[in-house]
Amino acid sequence: NLPPLFKRQLFKVDLSRNCVSSSSEIEQPSFRIMQWNLLAQALSKGGDNFILCPPDALVWDIRKLHIMEEILTPDPTIVCLQEVDHFKYIETELGKAGYKGTFFPKPFSPCLDITPNYGPDGCAIFWKSDAVDVINIKSVIIKEPTGYETNQVCIVIHMKLKQSNNRELFVAATHLKAKKGYDQVRHLQSKFIDKLLKETCGDSPVILCGDFNADPSEKAYKELMSSGLELSSAYTFLSDNLEEPPFTTTKVRGSPLGPVTYCRTIDFVLFSKNKLAVSSILKFPTEEEIGEKRLPSFNYPSDHLSLVCDFQFKK
Ligand code: NDP
Ligand code: CA
């Protein structure tokens, strides 16, 4: 009797947006990427304090169904996830649909400070095994320039896409340090990722998916967008003037000073703009559809929306 998930429309991106003048400049088969911070089960019941969310909507046996529905409905080729603390469950369920996956936990996951917990949370990447050949998986702890290991991680997968003439692609998933006052840490972490991708991916196309915990005004975002990697942000293609969407997470948390509303754009799909074209984007639900109580809710299992888009290789 679970209420339905939001219905989301697919937005077709104009070719000209991708700086190509004719469809002959791009290869035909497209592949679909999903980026999603699906909300760790332990955090949802622990420190997150989503005061407007009905407690029953946060019961795992309820949430897990909507989580699987949200991932499986758009039928993505590759899925990048953050805050995964139930990897086994997701691996088993996605396995039935033909996916394989890899998980890398945060070194000191805050989930472990919460009772009950289900182990550490971390990043995960899944791929359809009939569409993707994995060449190599690199899972790293993000370091500061001093060598100090932060509590954040990044997974980079080198893969070949079978339906695209075995074209090579690197897909990365990360979740940068959260909270106010950590802009500088996030900036250092984005520099680490920039260097990691330059060293790992060479000239091949890259897609970097993440919850950056940084909005577009922060150095962490600007660093990656202005780097030699030549990345564009897929969801900016939804707007006429290439702006990021108004929000990717929206929630109300309780605090000693009363309710605090968060409505921010901090989740991104960045891609090599010279090597890939975005052909479609799954639109977000509107604020009216989400409702005054925001997220998570009985209609949606996370406080972050999923980002889903289709890519094609440029010739
Ligand atoms: P982060 O600061 O990155 O945040 C962890 C999670 O908290 C994120 O998933 C984030 O979600 C969520 N979050 C963000 N803002 C809030 C908020 N206002 N209220 C509640 N949750 C929020 O975590 P760290 O990786 O730095 O880990 C923090 C904890 O880990 C520490 O409290 C400590 O217990 C432990 N730790 C232990 C270490 C050790 O040496 N033993 C070292 C480092 C950490 P979102 O991304 O969705 O915003
Ligand atoms: Ca969170």
Q: Which atom of ligand 1 lies closest to the CA of 151? A: 25
Tell whether 200 is covered by a domain: yes
198 C-alpha to center of ligand 2: Å? Answer: 28
CATH number at residue 127: 3.60.10.10
Structure token digits, residue 116: 């009950």
The count of structural domains within the chain is 1
Q: Which residue segment(s) compose the domain that 136 sits in?
A: 10-21+30-313
The rounded distance, in Å, linking the Cα atoms of 306 and 27 is 26
Q: Which ligand is nearest to the CA of 123?
A: 1
Tell whether 1 is covered by a domain: no
Ligand 1: residue of 82, 149, 151 to mutate (most ligand atoms within 8 A of CB) is: 151
Q: Is the CB of 280 under 6 A from ligand 1?
A: no
The rounded distance, in Å, linking the Cα atoms of 104 and 245 is 29
Tell whether 17 is covered by a domain: yes
In this predicted structure, what is the pLDDT of residue 69? 97
Tell whether 88 is covered by a domain: yes
List per-residue pLDDT tens for the chain, 315 residues long. 789 999 999 999 998 899 998 999 999 999 999 999 999 999 999 989 999 999 999 999 999 999 999 999 999 999 999 999 999 999 999 999 999 999 999 999 999 999 999 999 999 999 999 999 999 999 999 999 999 999 999 999 999 999 999 999 999 999 999 999 999 999 999 999 999 999 999 999 999 999 999 999 999 999 999 999 999 999 999 999 999 999 999 999 999 999 999 999 999 999 999 999 999 999 999 999 999 999 999 999 999 999 999 999 999
For 247-259, how does the pLDDT look when each residue is reduced to its tens digit (9 = 90+)? 999 999 999 999 9
Tell whether 3 is covered by a domain: no
Q: Is the CB of 179 under 6 A from ligand 1?
A: yes
In this predicted structure, what is the pLDDT of residue 2? 86
The rounded distance, in Å, linking the Cα atoms of 113 and 231 is 36
The rounded distance, in Å, linking the Cα atoms of 312 and 315 is 9
In this predicted structure, what is the pLDDT of residue 127? 99
Tell whether 141 is covered by a domain: yes
Q: Which ligand is nearest to the CA of 46?
A: 1
In this predicted structure, what is the pLDDT of residue 213? 98
Q: Is the CB of 261 under 6 A from ligand 1?
A: no
ipTM: 0.94
Q: Is the CB of 244 under 6 A from ligand 1?
A: no
161 C-alpha to center of ligand 2: Å? Answer: 31
Q: Is the CB of 85 under 6 A from ligand 1?
A: no
Q: Which ligand is nearest to the CA of 262?
A: 1
Tell whether 4 is covered by a domain: no
User: Strands, DSSP E only, in the chain?
Assistant: 10-12, 31-37, 78-84, 99-105, 122-128, 132-143, 149-161, 167-175, 206-211, 231-233, 249-253, 260-264, 267-272, 276-282, 307-313
In this predicted structure, what is the pLDDT of residue 218? 98
For 139-188, how does the pLDDT look when each residue is reduced to its tens digit (9 = 90+)? 999 999 999 999 999 999 999 999 999 999 999 999 999 999 999 999 99
Tell whether 89 is covered by a domain: yes
> Whose alpha carbon is nearest atom 11 of ligand 1?
178
